[in-house]
Chains A and B, each alone.
Chain A
Amino acid sequence: DAKTTQPNSMESNEEEPVHLPCNHSTISGTDYIHWYRQLPSQGPEYVIHGLTSNVNNRMASLAIAEDRKSSTLILHRATLRDAAVYYCILFYGSSNTGKLIFGQGTTLQVKP
């Protein structure tokens, strides 16, 4: 199964950029990279996803390495509301299944 590896925790100061890394060295050519975050006492929410090219949306940017073995979620200006667990996941396999492996995620702390 294609899996992801993330640091357990990271810290950031408010209003500074945050770069959250994810390693997915066994990714297959047709796997999309998705990022979700989970605020305390809530269900996960979608942040961004991509395949090969870098992606931007109103919440964040996703930078994908050229070999696709790693990616970085970029929060351009962290706010206290961004304190959450961030999950990097792959949609498993090239066989177009719906199996997902979430991993442990990175707990982001934002300091005022």
Chain B
Amino acid sequence: EAQVTQNPRYLITVTGKKLTVTCSQNMNHEYMSWYRQDPGLGLRQIYYSMNVEVTDKGDVPEGYKVSRKEKRNFPLILESPSPNQTSLYFCASSLARGRSYEQYFGPGTRLTVT
């Protein structure tokens, strides 16, 4: 089954403790992206990747890192999480550059930073 998986689905952590949210897709998609969703602010893009070893900033990249060493994986790294990073996070992937192809979204990761 074609899908985007995220792990963990739920995470409660403390300020400053490094964490990684994994994202994996099984569709051989070139394009992958991370979003955060907050009440009243909608979906905002954090980082995206056009292909292996190619990443770029979205609208809200501060406090996040990403890497794209393999085509299927696109982990989101929070080196020193803070409470303002408490949010619902979605990973997405699509063929080609994503412009004319549908994006597939993962189920989401709810992160709470205390």
Query: Which residues of chain B are near A103, meaning CB under 8 Å?
Result: 42
| A87 in contact with B50 (CB, 8 Å) | no
B residues contacting A by CB (< 8 A) are 31, 33, 35, 42-45, 48-50, 56, 58-59, 90, 92, 97-100, 102-108
Query: Which residues of chain A are near B108, meaning CB under 8 Å?
Result: 42-43
Interface SS of chain A? loop
Number of interchain pairs (Cβ within 8 Å): 65
Query: Which residues of chain A are near B45, meaning CB under 8 Å?
Result: 99-102
A108 and B50 alpha carbons, distance in the complex (Å): 32
Between-chain CB contacts (< 8 Å), 11 pairs: A42-B107, A43-B90, A45-B105, A49-B102, A91-B98, A91-B100, A98-B31, A98-B56, A98-B98, A99-B56, A100-B48
| Interface hub of A31, A32, A98 (most chain B Cβ within 10 A) | A98
Given contacts A46-B103, A46-B104, A49-B102, contact A102 B44 (CB under 8 A): yes
Partner of B105, one of A44, A51, A91: A44
- Tell me whether A104 is interfacial, beta carbon within 8 Å: yes
A residues contacting B by CB (< 8 A) are 30-32, 34, 36, 42-46, 49, 51, 87, 91, 96-105
